[in-house]
Structure 1
Amino acid sequence: MGISNLVDEVIAREGGYSNHPADRGGPTNMGITQTVARANGYAGDMKTLPRSVAEALYRRLYWDQPGYAFAAEISWSIAAELFDTAVNMGVATATSFFQRALNALNRNQKDYPDLKVDRILGARTLSALRAFHTLRGAVGDRVLLKALEALQGERYIALAESRPANEAFLYGWLANRIG
């Protein structure tokens, strides 16, 4: 599996054009909001957003720029989860979940030092992932995935609790993004 497969999966999951009245993102196509499209040079009608534009945005904004390809060299499953969470919640949120989970799983810094939760995937975060993966292997990756999904699920519920209109999306978020 590669990033192209992840992008294909996201586009399939997100579907085509929508403009749900409860969605603060406004007009959206293939999961790309009009705000993101405009900020990245697309000026056309969101109903006709070319798939190639969506694919390029997903790859650049949610894989290349945050450096998740570097995490993929250590653990593909973790990088794939980071990508998916970034698409839905933003890169900074996905990376902060990752740093928090790594901190919580380092056995009081016996395995690697705590990370500053700066929401940036840098050398120290990658080093912590490498140390965790070396110590825990594939089983550890599954545990780390559970921690990431627990943080994501809690965030979805908090979003629904803080804004009742988000309840329209909660079931889908949990069904399609967790586990």
Structure 2
Amino acid sequence: MLRPDPSIFDTDALIDAVIDREGRYVNHPADRGGPTCWGITEAVARAQGYVGDMRELSRGEATTIYRRLYWLRPAFDKVALRAPKIAAELFDTGVNMGTGTAAGFLQRALNALNRAARDYPDIAVDRDIGVRTLSALDGFLRARGKDGETVLLRAMEALQGERYIALAERRPSQEAFLYGWLANRIGDS
């Protein structure tokens, strides 16, 4: 089994960085997610068994939710064994846009970068990290080497940026968040 270099990849640090970026309690009127604490929406917290006031959601509870729902369940930990930068991007995008959307970005980028299926077969864009997606990622990394991870990351970020802009165009209320999304979610986040 492949192991990420711990000096490059640390799941706890990844989760802490997202929590720090998301901040404490927020209830912005334009945020369709409603009240959030540490970036965890009230609906997600309740679905995970939290019954208290959202202002009181502990950082530890948020960390547990992030690890379970946004790291392990979507199998981003399996991506980290192959491509730590891609896994970090999947996690961050998954927190902000949903893990299915993040996985779909990876799948779309892998399909577009496989040189007409010469490097590995196309995969279904089913928004789920499974055996075929991991196999395609392995094929991509074999064909393109470690520098390929950076190009794949750029492709995923391009898809993410386009989605943010389209969202702001469709729903002008979301323009309130566009600058921050582009500043904090695209690039070295």
Would you call these one fold, judging by a TM-score over 0.5?
Answer: yes
> What does residue 69 of structure 1 align with?
77
The reply to whether residue 107 of structure 1 matches residue 129 of structure 2 is no
Aligned pairs (5 A) from 1:84-95: 84-95=92-103
Aligned pairs (5 A) from 1:109-124: 109-124=117-132
Q: 1: CA distance between counterparts of 2:38 and 2:146?
A: 32
Unaligned runs of 5+ in 1: none
Unaligned runs of 5+ in 2: 1-8
> What does residue 56 of structure 1 align with?
64
The reply to whether residue 168 of structure 1 matches residue 187 of structure 2 is no
Tell me which stretches of 4 or more aligned residues in structure 1 moved more than 4 Å.
none
> What does residue 163 of structure 2 align with?
155
Q: Give the alignment's TM-score, normalised by structure 1.
A: 0.99
Q: 2: CA distance between counterparts of 1:78 and 1:95?
A: 10
> What does residue 105 of structure 2 align with?
97
> What does residue 22 of structure 2 align with?
14
3-state SS of paired residue (1:139): helix
Q: 1: CA distance between counterparts of 2:145 and 2:67?
A: 27
3-state SS of paired residue (2:174): helix
The reply to whether residue 125 of structure 1 matches residue 127 of structure 2 is no
Kindly tell me the number of residue pairs found equivalent between the two proteins: 179
> What does residue 134 of structure 1 align with?
142
- How far does residue 134 in structure 1 lie from its aligned partner after superposition? 1.5
3-state SS of paired residue (2:173): helix
CA-atom RMSD in angstroms: 0.6
Identity %: 64
Alignment counterpart, residue 31 of structure 1, candidates 33, 39, 51: 39
- How far does residue 88 in structure 1 lie from its aligned partner after superposition? 0.5
Q: Give the alignment's TM-score, normalised by structure 2.
A: 0.93
